[in-house]
Structure 1
Amino acid sequence: MILSAAPLWLALYEPDIAQNTGAMLRTCACFGVRAAIIEPAGFPVSDRHFRRSGMDYLDHVDIERHVSWRAFSQWRRTEAKRLVLLTTKADESLWDFAFQRNDVIMVGRESAGVPQEVHDDADARVRIAIRPPMRSLNVGVAAAMALGEAIRQIAPPGGATG
């Protein structure tokens, strides 16, 4: 089975940590998922930790950069993309959510998540249940889990997602 490009996006809201961002973009490259980075980031995109964690995989990712939340929000509305926010504050479980082709799955900042404005603007909010008293998963792990579930749901029989 050859996995072709997945009809999904992963959006990173003002990422803080270069290594996590690089790892998530590497995941996007491996799954054929497009990426959107909403700036400002907490590090220069040319940072050596960012480049090292993404390795040569960054050359295989379609990355849209947006200068602000407002620019991203306008882009996604123009492109008619549904925004699915991964958040610990959601009621709906990742495993119960029905993903659609061209969804944009968004993760927040490692240090602070997303502001209320972003939370309110999302079309859907989903969570990954974890056991108390744990607060949250690493953002890269959560992104990979959500992308894997979305790809599983929208892949036609035979496994290709193109």
Structure 2
Amino acid sequence: MQKHFLNIVLYQPEIPYNTGNIGRLCVGLNSKLHLIEPLGFKITDKMLKRAGLDYWKKLDCEIYPSLQAFFDKRKEINFYFASTKAEISFYKAEFKAGDYLIFGKETGGLPEEFHSAHKSRGLMIPMSDKIRSINLCNSVAVMMYEAYRQIYGVNDKI
């Protein structure tokens, strides 16, 4: 497996438990976490570290002051973004090792102009109309494991 299986990008995450759990997931799947400011917590927040347990120190994490700064630094990347407004199921994406999966903040998602500019890169997670969305950490987990299944098949070892 290459250095980073996937790159997970969280746009302005607000809840430290979600980010901590996602960080732990990234360590478990050899993936890098990218955080777009402003964050709804301090990176030293004990809630964040509690959710990530002792894995946080093993996490490869980079922080950017804005979404524009992230894209300025990463010009030639293959990315998808998760959205309840997207029309394509994430099951139809063809994930590749090294892809970037972008997730919006818990209470508001990604900016509307981002959706408009990159509509063909948007992916939705199928769910009933009884809920607006699923938890951010759950969204990241199901998409990461689907990408893993597509790229590496059904393996018992990572």
Preserved contact between residue 13 and residue 106 of structure 1 (Cα < 8 Å) = yes
Preserved contact between residue 88 and residue 123 of structure 2 (Cα < 8 Å) = yes
- Alignment partner, residue 54 of structure 2: 56
Aligned length: 157
- Alignment partner, residue 102 of structure 2: 106
Compute the displacement of 1:116 (Å): 1.4
Length-normalised TM-score, structure 2: 0.91
Alignment of 1:41 with 2:39, yes or no, is: yes
Q: Which residue of 146, 149, 156 maps to 2:146?
A: 149
RMSD: 2.0
Alignment of 1:126 with 2:132, yes or no, is: no
AA aligned opposite 1:44: K
User: How many Å separate the matches in 2 of 1:154 and 1:160?
Assistant: 14
User: How many Å separate the matches in 2 of 1:110 and 1:153?
Assistant: 27
**How do 1:83-94 residues align onto structure 2 when only pairs under 5 Å count?**
83-94=79-90
AA aligned opposite 2:100: V
Compute the displacement of 1:117 (Å): 2.5
Preserved contact between residue 85 and residue 125 of structure 1 (Cα < 8 Å) = yes
Q: 1:157 to 1:95 in 2, by over 3 A?
A: closer
Which consecutive residues of structure 2, in runs of 5 or more, have no partner in the other structure? none
Length-normalised TM-score, structure 1: 0.89
Alignment of 1:27 with 2:25, yes or no, is: yes
